């Protein structure tokens, strides 16, 4: 970039080029150094591009770098919660447990780095504040949070599906005299709850995992629950060398299968309807899966559970019964029973001893649906009925999922308006990867992609490979820009909504629907046609020479 261009950028209204003279030039800039950012870095580097990833944290790991709350653990089986692209990594790495915990996932990232030497091309402790696309130069100017500018041809947003933390706008939050900690911003040194009265708001996946662990340590734990979660015990167990020997014997076949399954996992859904079985047979079917534990319970369930309310009700009835069996006090059990929405339309939570935690003397469950939190006082949480005195408040309140990590960056495309403005009425993308008017900008696991309903690493590998192949095509063909076609984008959005409407998802307020964030447009944010179909569609687009996109 010339000095003249840099000066012009500095003068742009509210755009990227406001504060600095120093402009670094790269072929590609990657935002984030988790699963997707690191893989994109690896592949683009292999193509010989000058590329750098920028990461807000001080190390690699992405969502797993941040989510260090007690009990944080993956809910996908460990043998598929990893990269599949490297045989060497697959063959050499062994997870110690069926479901890896947060610390071991960071060890895995360390191991991957020891093989691929990725850290050296990541700039840590750096947020991307803004980006402007200049149609004259066909380049993005990216502004870092220290004011420095980077000029790049390609922008790869690998900032994650569930990374933009959501803290409810509770009245009085700043007057609380104790610590307030969001589960995704957990202090690295940990938190000692010994002798403390702790409150936790939120009973999604994070809350469900944290509650039993905090309850073990705290003097008292008050759980503020707005919507009870459908819950399946994870039944996490250690894995032994013999299991690994067997897995590794057929690892490549397993991955081949996973990649061509709707959810990116190698397990088959039962092809039958829930009503093909007698009630007794169904009971056995559920019981076997309940004993096995984990979210395979739903993922391998009957074909009609996600689409037919009556079939879904059969599963709901079973899970309700399990709550009543696990919780001693029938009044508390009733409060923990999720009602009024189909199972699977909010993320089903897995964990260890979650329901049993409510049998402890030092745990209180407060229903904040019937009596919402009115304010956070100096001493605790005030609902309509009562004030609960606590020393520390944990917010397991989730994320501005699917879109938040993208719209929080001041990204300005061809028209000069921001991505946030473009998506004000709902996310608009083509394949969940590109959005019209923002050329050469690629999103990994973007809204309207299948990622959030898949085993995320499987989805990430497909997205990253497609994006980096596309970049390679542009480089070798001498193209300067690629952009989504507004017509194709509109059709993709309508297709995603239409597919969503054939399921039970729209019946529920969830982050899949954007409904967990006040004011966010309600729309189904996931492509639910399956990773297998999606992969085929993306491959067809690439094989056609990206005809449905605008190439220049
Ligand atoms: P989730 O699943 O979005 O859960 C957030 C929880 O916080 C959920 O129970 C919410 O209740 C609750 N919440 C949010 N705002 C409030 C307010 N204002 N008052 C009371 N309760 C509130 O986030 P997680 O971090 O647990 O999990 C996110 C994903 O990470 C998960 O799906 C896995 O894929 C991994 P609500 O249900 O909205 O009534």
pLDDT tens per residue across span 31-47: 999 999 999 999 999 99
- Segment 54-64 shows an average pLDDT of 98
Residue nearest to atom 15 of ligand 1 (CA): 397
Q: Residue 210 C-alpha to ligand 1 middle, in angstroms? A: 13
- Segment 162-191 shows an average pLDDT of 97
Residue of 183, 204, 399 with the most ligand 1 atoms within 8 Å of its CB, for mutation? 204
- Segment 328-336 shows an average pLDDT of 98
| Residues 403 and 513 sit within 8 Å (Cβ to Cβ) | no
What stretches of 96-252 adopt beta strand conformation (E)? 122-123, 128-134, 139-144, 149-157, 179-182, 197-201, 220-225, 231-233
Task: Inform me whether the pLDDT recorded for 490 exceeds 60.
Answer: yes
Q: Where are the alpha helices (DSSP H) in 264-308?
A: 279-292, 296-299
Q: Residue 304 C-alpha to ligand 1 middle, in angstroms? A: 26
| Cβ of residue 510 lying under 6 Å from some atom of ligand 1 | no
In this prediction, residue 15 carries a pLDDT of: 44
Residues of the chain by 3-state class (helix, strand, coil), percent to 5: 35, 20, 45
Quick one: pLDDT band at residue 197, thresholds 50, 70, 90?
very high
Atom of ligand 1 nearest to the CA of 67: 25
Atom of ligand 1 nearest to the CA of 208: 26
Q: pTM for this one?
A: 0.95
In this prediction, residue 387 carries a pLDDT of: 97
| Residues 60 and 109 sit within 8 Å (Cβ to Cβ) | yes
Quick one: pLDDT band at residue 479, thresholds 50, 70, 90?
very high
In this prediction, residue 10 carries a pLDDT of: 45
Task: Inform me whether the pLDDT recorded for 5 exceeds 60.
Answer: no
Q: Residue 188 C-alpha to ligand 1 middle, in angstroms? A: 22
Atom of ligand 1 nearest to the CA of 511: 3
Atom of ligand 1 nearest to the CA of 227: 39
pLDDT tens per residue across span 379-407: 999 999 899 999 999 999 999 999 999 99
In this prediction, residue 385 carries a pLDDT of: 83
Q: Residue 225 C-alpha to ligand 1 middle, in angstroms? A: 9
Structure tokens belonging to residue 85: 């692209």
Crossing angle, helix 35-46 and helix 102-116, to 10 degrees? 10
Quick one: pLDDT band at residue 340, thresholds 50, 70, 90?
very high
In this prediction, residue 21 carries a pLDDT of: 57
The secondary element (H helix, E strand) that includes residue 389 is: strand 387-389
pLDDT tens per residue across span 238-281: 999 999 999 999 999 999 999 999 999 999 999 999 999 999 99
């Amino acid at each position: 970039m010339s000095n003249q261009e840099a000066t012009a950028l500095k003068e742009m209204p509210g755009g990227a080029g406001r504060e600095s003279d120093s402009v670094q030039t790269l072929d590609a800039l990657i935002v984030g150094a988790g699963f997707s950012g690191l893989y994109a870095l690896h592949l683009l580097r292999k193509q010989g591009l000058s590329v750098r990833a920028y990461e807000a944290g001080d190390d690699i790991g992405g969502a797993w770098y941040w989510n260090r709350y007690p009990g944080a653990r993956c809910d996908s089986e460990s043998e598929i919660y990893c990269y599949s692209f490297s045989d060497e990594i697959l063959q050499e790495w062994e997870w110690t447990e069926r479901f890896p915990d947060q610390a071991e996932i960071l060890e895995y990232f360390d191991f991957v780095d020891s093989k691929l030497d990725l850290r050296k091309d990541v700039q840590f402790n750096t947020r991307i504040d803004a980006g402007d696309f200049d149609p004259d130069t066909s380049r993005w100017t990216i502004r870092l949070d220290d004011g420095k500018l980077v000029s790049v041809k390609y922008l790869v947003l690998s900032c994650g599906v569930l990374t933009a933390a959501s803290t409810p706008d509770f009245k009085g939050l700043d007057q609380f005299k104790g610590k307030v900690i969001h589960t995704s911003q957990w202090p690295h040194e940990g938190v000692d709850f010994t002798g403390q009265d702790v409150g936790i708001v939120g009973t999604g996946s994070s809350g469900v995992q944290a509650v039993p662990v905090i309850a073990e340590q705290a003097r008292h734990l008050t759980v503020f629950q707005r919507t009870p979660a459908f819950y399946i015990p994870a039944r996490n167990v250690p894995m032994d060398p013999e299991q690994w020997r067997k897995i590794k014997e057929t690892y490549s076949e397993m991955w081949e299968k996973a990649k061509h399954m709707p959810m990116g996992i190698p397990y088959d859904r039962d092809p039958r309807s829930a009503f093909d079985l007698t009630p007794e047979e169904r009971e056995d079917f559920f019981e076997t899966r309940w004993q096995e534990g984990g979210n395979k319970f739903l993922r391998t369930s009957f074909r009609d559970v996600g689409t037919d309310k009556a079939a879904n009700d059969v599963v709901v009835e079973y899970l309700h019964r399990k709550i009543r069996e696990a919780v001693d006090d029938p009044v508390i059990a009733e409060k923990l029973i999720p009602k009024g929405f189909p199972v699977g339309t909010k993320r089903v939570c897995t964990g260890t001893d979650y329901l049993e935690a409510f049998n402890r003397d030092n745990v209180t469950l407060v229903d904040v649906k019937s009596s919402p939190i009115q304010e956070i006082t100096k001493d605790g949480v005030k609902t309509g009925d009562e004030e609960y005195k606590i020393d520390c408040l944990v917010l397991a309140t989730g994320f501005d999922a699917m879109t938040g990590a993208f719209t929080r960056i001041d990204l300005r495309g061809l028209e000069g308006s921001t991505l946030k403005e473009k998506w004000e009425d709902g996310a608009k993308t083509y394949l969940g990867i590109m959005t019209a008017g923002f050329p050469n900008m690629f999103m990994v696991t973007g809204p309207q992609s299948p990622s959030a309903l898949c085993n995320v690493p499987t989805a990430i590998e497909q997205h990253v490979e497609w994006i980096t192949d596309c970049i390679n095509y542009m480089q070798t063909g001498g193209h300067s820009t690629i952009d989504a076609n507004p017509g194709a984008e509109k059709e993709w959005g309508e297709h995603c909504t239409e597919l969503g409407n054939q399921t039970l998802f729209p019946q529920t307020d969830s982050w899949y629907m954007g409904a967990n964030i006040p004011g966010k447009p309600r729309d189904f944010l996931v492509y639910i046609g399956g990773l297998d179909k999606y992969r085929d569609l993306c491959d067809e687009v690439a094989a056609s020479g990206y005809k449905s996109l605008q190439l220049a």
